[in-house]
Structure 1
Amino acid sequence: MTGVDPAVERRRLLRLSAATAGGVLLTASAGGRTAAGDVTVAPAEEVPPTEDLMREHGVLKRILLIYEEAERRLRHGKDLPPEALRESADIIRTFIEQYHEKLEENYIFPRLRKAGKLVDTVDVLKTQHDKGRILTRRILDGATAKGLADEHTRKRVVHAMRSFDRMYAPHEAREDTVVFPTFRDIMPAREFAEMGERFEDEEHRRFGAAGFTGIVDRVAGIERELDIYQLSKFTPHV
């Protein structure tokens, strides 16, 4: 197949085969079948790399809400399971900092710098990544029963979560509304598509077959433990 990366085509065919075996997304010219009676299969569309990064920001936002709840409990002397806080910070460390942000630093930021686009913004975002890792370390260090029982450590953890929340809300918003759209504009279509393949491969290499869905399930479990999973809890009484 001229002009197509063999590795990319191989992965596409493997996913198509899996979709066929599972009987998903069946379509046809008439009633799900061709004129000859054969069932046709429409492969699922690839997730563009910028959309992949934006949905990962959804995980980050949900952890920010968990931190907000944890901070509220600690400030008001209410019960907070240390394991819930530690699990949240571990998701930030492994999924956001060691995976999501590394994709940005290795693929997104260099291309923008090379194109002379948003260079100052990229520099600030990279600095914020570095600061965020320091804050995550502080949260992890203090997220123990002994740590949260100690007033000094508890205040340190609360300050770290508050600083993290304040920084990352505008951080992810700027990336979603400015950085990622600009990046997509400067990328050739074929290279952009192949980058999505690389992102997907790396996701499953690090997090197994469940990938992103498995991470979302972990976050939902923490939300249930803290009784903030139901979306209706965030509806104001007006």
Structure 2
Amino acid sequence: MVRVHCCIRRDTMNSDRRISRRTLVASGSLAGAGAVLLAYPELSLGAQQQERPTQRQTPGQTPGQTPGQRLGQRQAQGQPMTPVEDLTAQHGAVGRLLLVYEETALQLQAGKQVSAKPIQEAAGIIRTTVVALHAPLEEQYVYPRLEQNGRHADVVKALREQHAAARQINTQLLSMVKNGSFENPKQAAQAMHAFRRMLTAHVAREHSEIFPAFQKAMSPDQYRELSQTFQEKERAALGAEGFDGVIRRVASIEANYGFQDLGRFTAEARQAPVAAAGAQARVAAQP
């Protein structure tokens, strides 16, 4: 008969049963250990939890917090946003401007008279926020870190090329404006559509693949130090108003299209079957 020496503490109040794993191992009996684990399955779960590798946390992160809660906590404590949060916020501003580009392109394609002023203002924001700040941050700090590790080389190469293309298209859009309107509406609409499509793919790839890999490649100290660097670069590029000033300018442009009402997009989505049928009819009618 195999004997297993173990220490069991019984608590009559809560029926908590605990066994010394050290004593269990010392017994040297696999059969006995198996029998005890069958009787007390919580031991197996506890062992798994203890042996599970600890997930790397962002400096200042509390386990179980959502990203929004972590950001709010750091802001309340006067701590800077992390590099990925900085870049993601900038992407959000660009995404809002891309909706303006898309709406303008649709109006131009429908033959409507469209003022080019909102697009000029949007292109100006992209020039100061993306061309002068966001792209250099990624090209100087994010992409090299992955290139040094030999990871995501093909994706990083494509992302660098898209930065160059974005700078070129943004400049071209500004050159298409004459006396407050687009000199060639069809060409301008095509440029805005291509711009939106490319940057949508660009941002999605960075959020889902590049940013997570970049964060994993950094130690907590490196990541914390880079947060300060990003904040300094942002202040130098955006001035005293900072990113809050950018968002106010974006909101002002959105007001020209009624985009300040976020609920309008919900209403459009609920009418999607009707809208999709109309879009298919428009495509079929095109030469």
- Classify the TM-score, shorter chain: 0.7 to 0.9
Alignment partners' CA distance in 2, 1:144 and 1:92:
20
State the SS of the aligned residue for 1:181: helix
Aligned CA-pair RMSD = 1.6
Alignment partners' CA distance in 2, 1:130 and 1:57:
17
State whether residues 85 and 143 of structure 1, in contact with CA within 8 Å, keep that contact through their aligned partners in structure 2: no
State the SS of the aligned residue for 2:123: helix
State whether residues 116 and 180 of structure 2, in contact with CA within 8 Å, keep that contact through their aligned partners in structure 1: no
Alignment partners' CA distance in 2, 1:201 and 1:46:
10
Unaligned runs of 5+ in 2: 1-71, 272-287
Matched, 1:121 2:152: no
Given candidates 239, 244, 247, the residue that maps to 1:208 is: 239
Given candidates 213, 217, 221, the residue that maps to 1:190 is: 221
Paired residues for 1:119-158 under 5 Å: 119-145=153-179, 147-148=181-182, 150=183, 153-158=184-189
State the SS of the aligned residue for 1:103: helix
Partner of 1:165: 196
State the SS of the aligned residue for 1:117: coil
Residues 187-220 of structure 1: CA distance to partner in whole angstroms, max 9, x if unpaired? 1111111111011111112212221111011000
Alignment partners' CA distance in 2, 1:68 and 1:224:
15
Paired residues for 1:1-238 under 5 Å: 43-145=77-179, 147-148=181-182, 150=183, 153-235=184-266, 236-238=269-271
Which structure is richer in relative contact order (CA contacts within 8 A, separation 6 or more)?
1
- Tell me by how many angstroms 1:172 deviates: 0.2
Higher Cα Rg, which structure: 2
The one-letter code of the counterpart of 1:84 is P
Structure 1 pair 57/189, CA: closer, same or farther in 2 (3 Å)?
same
State whether residues 251 and 260 of structure 2, in contact with CA within 8 Å, keep that contact through their aligned partners in structure 1: yes
Alignment partners' CA distance in 2, 1:196 and 1:81:
39
Please give the TM-score of this superposition, normalised by the length of structure 2: 0.65
Unaligned runs of 5+ in 1: 1-24, 26-41
State whether residues 138 and 156 of structure 1, in contact with CA within 8 Å, keep that contact through their aligned partners in structure 2: no
- Tell me by how many angstroms 1:147 deviates: 5.0
Alignment partners' CA distance in 2, 1:87 and 1:154:
17
- Tell me by how many angstroms 1:146 deviates: 5.9
- Tell me by how many angstroms 1:46 deviates: 2.5
Alignment partners' CA distance in 1, 2:180 and 2:103:
20
State whether residues 108 and 185 of structure 2, in contact with CA within 8 Å, keep that contact through their aligned partners in structure 1: yes
Please give the TM-score of this superposition, normalised by the length of structure 1: 0.78
Alignment partners' CA distance in 2, 1:95 and 1:182:
24
Alignment partners' CA distance in 2, 1:230 and 1:139:
27
